[in-house]
Amino acid sequence: MGVTAHGFLIVDKPRGWTSHDVVARVRRLLGTRRVGHAGTLDPAAEGVLVVGVGSATRLLEQVQSGAKQYVAHVVLGVESDSGDVEGLGSAIASRPPDRAAIEAALQTMVGEIRQVPPAHSAIKVGGEALYRRARRGEVVEVPARTVHVSTLAVLDYRPPDVVVRVDCGSGVYVRAIARDLGRDLGCGAYLHALLRTRVGAFTLQAAWPMEDLERGLTPPTWPLMALHPDAALQPDDALALGGAAVESWYHGRPVPIPEVTEETTPRVRGYTWDGDWLGVASTDQARGLWQPRAVVGR
């Protein structure tokens, strides 16, 4: 019997697993195909992977666009062709820089920056993933893109190992930060290990280890281990509807706002008067309407 509930499962992805491996395992454990994830983690990385089930899959894009936090272990003096421990490395320098130089170089990568993704990444150029072309030995010019980095803080430095906290937005490659740090310092660097500690409102403290999921995740235990879909929408305002308004919502038709004020928020969480989850609506203040955007089927 498949899952009838909807929600998020916060997983502590182990090293060596792909994000798709986790999704496939959750599908098997729950007996449902409607499973996805927000924000791919490389196989060599570990930490928070947000898995959506049922109607929560409609909110995964929103979760993926949220802020993220990582703890990165960077090794100086060696450069990797993939930017991480999976690639082929070559020694660049044996004399490590001092901590002040590292911190100064990191600060040049804080804010809105132009970042060139690693050649070994899933980004498509010419309709094909870069990592596939890189594996064939092709040299591809990777276009830079604008990303946002909030914080790069050195947590520990014991040459050649430096541990960095990274707070950033969507689309940032921590491997590229390590690569660019090494190039700015003139010594080379690669990402040795990566732990994602937060995705939006979801933290590592709330994540389930895979071994616990293997032992305990079943359709009957799902409500005990999952988070409600609205966990991704806090602290958005809640909207309770009844009667004809609920029918309009289910058909994707806008619902009138009784009174538009300065406090009217741009997005609301929808529920029936009985507390059943309806989905998400955006606010059209000009027309005085709530427009359903993610509608949960009955």
The total number of residues shown for the chain amounts to 298
What are the tokens at 122?
Answer: 């899933």
**What's the average model confidence in pLDDT over 34-61?**
92
User: What is the predicted pLDDT for the residue at 136?
Assistant: 66
User: What is the predicted pLDDT for the residue at 148?
Assistant: 98
Is there a contact between 51 and 4 (Cβ–Cβ < 8 Å)?
A: no
Tens digits of per-residue pLDDT, 90-147? 777 778 899 999 999 999 999 999 999 887 666 666 666 566 665 666 667 778 999 9
User: What is the predicted pLDDT for the residue at 293?
Assistant: 82
* Distance of alpha carbon 23 from alpha carbon 1, whole angstroms: 18
Query: Is 161 exposed, middle or buried (CB count within 10 Å of its CB: 0-12, 13-18, 19+)?
Result: middle
* Distance of alpha carbon 92 from alpha carbon 182, whole angstroms: 9
% of the chain surpassing 70 pLDDT? 89
In order, the DSSP letters of 130-154 are HHHHHHTT----PPPEEEEEEEEEE
Cis amide prior to 292 (ω within 30 degrees): no
* Distance of alpha carbon 254 from alpha carbon 288, whole angstroms: 10
* Distance of alpha carbon 202 from alpha carbon 9, whole angstroms: 10
Least confident of 57-66, 76-85, 128-137, 226-235: 128-137
* Distance of alpha carbon 155 from alpha carbon 230, whole angstroms: 34
pLDDT above 50: residue 36: yes
User: What is the predicted pLDDT for the residue at 163?
Assistant: 98
Least confident of 11-15, 232-236, 248-252: 232-236
- Residue 97 DSSP label: P
Look at 121 and 254; give whichever has higher pLDDT: 254
Is there a contact between 147 and 171 (Cβ–Cβ < 8 Å)?
A: yes
What are the tokens at 218?
Answer: 């079943």
- Residue 187 DSSP label: S
Is there a contact between 219 and 1 (Cβ–Cβ < 8 Å)?
A: yes
pLDDT above 50: residue 181: yes
Q: Are strands 35-38 and 78-80 parallel, antiparallel or unpaired?
A: unpaired
User: What is the predicted pLDDT for the residue at 133?
Assistant: 63
* Distance of alpha carbon 223 from alpha carbon 226, whole angstroms: 6
- Residue 171 DSSP label: T
Could you give the residue numbers annotated as active site? 42
pLDDT above 50: residue 1: no
The candidate with the shortest Cα–Cα distance to 232, out of 270, 275, 200, is: 200
